[in-house]
Chain A
Amino acid sequence: MAITWHRVGLLEELEEGTILTRTIGETTIGLTRSKGDVYAFGNYCPHQGAPMCLGEIRDTMLPSEFQEYVPGHDGQVLRCPWHAYDFFLRSGTAVGGVIRGRVATYSTTVDDGVVYCALTRPDSD
């Protein structure tokens, strides 16, 4: 089935670590840019439905030994604005497996400085 790409903005509008909110039809998505890549995700937390576009792009703590803190995944984690659950930007899955549900993630592409999004899962999934 052919993928339908929707123009959602310009790359220069997307600052590293910030979230832009866009709509495609009736679907609200969040757009962000991290380490050069562009990500798109759904505006709904699988925990209690929080608006993920109001979340935060950041790092998290990796599983570690007792009383050791090992930060990791800098810029690759989307934090829920309500209960601070962390989700991987790329897959939408919860960091540490704290919840089974996942944040929807969408395919993106950039062509000549224009960002396009398709309401399909990214290939990397």
Chain B
Amino acid sequence: MIYDLDRHVAVEDYQQLFAHMPTGWAKHLAEREEFVASIQLASNHIRVTEQFDSVEATAPVDQRLTHSLLVPFQGLSVAGWTDPKAAEHFVASFNRLSQHEWAGDAASPALLVSPFDPEWSAREVRHWAATETPKAVAIPLIDRLLGTAYWDPIYAACVEADIPVYLHFSGLEGHYRGAPPLSGAIHHSAASRRALLPHVAETNLASLAFEATFERFPSLRVVVAGFGFSWLPVSLWRFDSEWRTFRRDVPWVKNPPSEYLLESVWLTSWPIQEQVGLDEHSTALSSRMRERLIFGSHSPHLGDDVDTIVAALGQEAADELFVRGREVLGLEAPTASRGVDMGAL
């Protein structure tokens, strides 16, 4: 069994979305070049080369995958939009298209929400949870830390529906002033932005822990996808160390931050090359940390395919990784065939 919790999916043309939104808004968005441009820009997911244009929708799917969580990453581009209402219509149209056309036995598209109106987003989650069963709720990242109460309506809806929150970079991070910042200041090149993307995950995990999100929502589950994982031990050590000294400043954090995060957060495995070989993997991450790692191929954007994972970790550790995401998505284990062995009668 292989569960891939980071497979990218895209529309080939933005006009596919127009059929899923009010006519007036479709016309408006078609007339406004900046929105169309952002969709095209988002299609080049990592903004480095042109090589990724238009490959997503037609990328072949590894038939060995039992189930994939599909990331409609173009929808994450609303994080940079100027019109919050347009962003709502955009992600709502993406949800209608993806939940109706891409969902199936072997794939579940993440439900998109708007980062500009958590109350609207909570209604969107409840709407889909009542009729379909989305397996994750993807929040486009903006420059508001995820531990702040601003996001609580979305978390409340996710907990109510028992759906994990899903965090994946849009590629806008650090890209312009006002985007979620990387490191200490605005970086100048795609190289440094991409190299420092883990900062976005680290800073939001710190926020989730120190703003006591998991005290307010003990059953909230969070998947952090595409940000790597080798930084986790150092971050958790620092979070706990500073909490010991400054517990008085955050008295609502009643346990070591690592306890909350190791209970409620999962990280996807891309890029597995951060740790070369099983020995390094086993040494760098405690067994408890390894249990928080789930397979996310990050395909087709130069991701890790199944064979790459097996080559890096060996079959046994890879098999453990592959199956771990099933529970996160709330999926039942496939039942074995109940055929009767006539020879045994």
Residues of A within 8 A of B (CB): 47, 60-70, 83-86, 95-99
Contacts and interface: CB of A to CB of B under 8 A. Distances in A.
B149 A66 contact: yes
Interface string B200-228: 00000000000110011000000000000
Given A66-B149, A66-B212, A66-B215, A83 B247 contact: no
Contacts of A99: 244
Contact of B244 (A61, A62, A83): A83
Contacts of A64: 251-252
A62 B252 CA distance: 9
B288 interface: no
Contacts of B248: 60-61, 86
A67 B252 contact: yes
A63 B252 CA distance: 6
Interface of B: 149, 211-212, 215-216, 243-249, 251-252, 254-256
Contact of A63 (B216, B245, B251, B256): B251
B272 to A, nearest CB: 35
Nearest to A62: B251
A98 B244 contact: yes
Nearest to B244: A98
Contact of A85 (B215, B244, B252, B254): B244
Contacts of A62: 251
B210 to A, nearest CB: 10
Contacts of B149: 66-67
A84 to B, nearest CB: 5
Given A66-B149, A66-B215, A98 B252 contact: no
Contact of B252 (A47, A65, A83): A65
Interface class of chain B by DSSP: helix
Nearest to B256: A98
A68 B244 contact: no
A95 B243 CA distance: 12
A80 to B, nearest CB: 9
Contacts of B243: 98
Contact of B247 (A47, A67, A70, A98): A98
Q: Max chain A CB contacts within 10 Å: which of B212, B216, B248, B256?
A: B248
Contacts of A85: 244-245
A98 B239 CA distance: 12
Contacts of A65: 252
Contacts of A84: 245-246
A63 B254 contact: yes
Nearest to B251: A61
Contacts of A61: 247-249, 251
Given A66-B212, A66-B215, A66-B216, A96 B247 contact: yes
A63 to B, nearest CB: 5
Nearest to A83: B245
Contacts of B255: 97
A125 to B, nearest CB: 23
Given A61-B249, A84-B246, A96-B247, 4 more contacts: A63-B252, A69-B251, A96-B254, A98-B256
17 contacts: A47-B244, A60-B248, A61-B248, A61-B249, A63-B252, A63-B254, A65-B252, A66-B211, A66-B216, A67-B149, A67-B252, A68-B251, A69-B251, A85-B244, A85-B245, A97-B255, A98-B247
A97 B149 CA distance: 26
Contacts of B216: 66
Contact of B251 (A70, A83, A97): A70
Contacts of B215: 66
A96 to B, nearest CB: 5
A67 B215 CA distance: 12
A96 B216 CA distance: 18
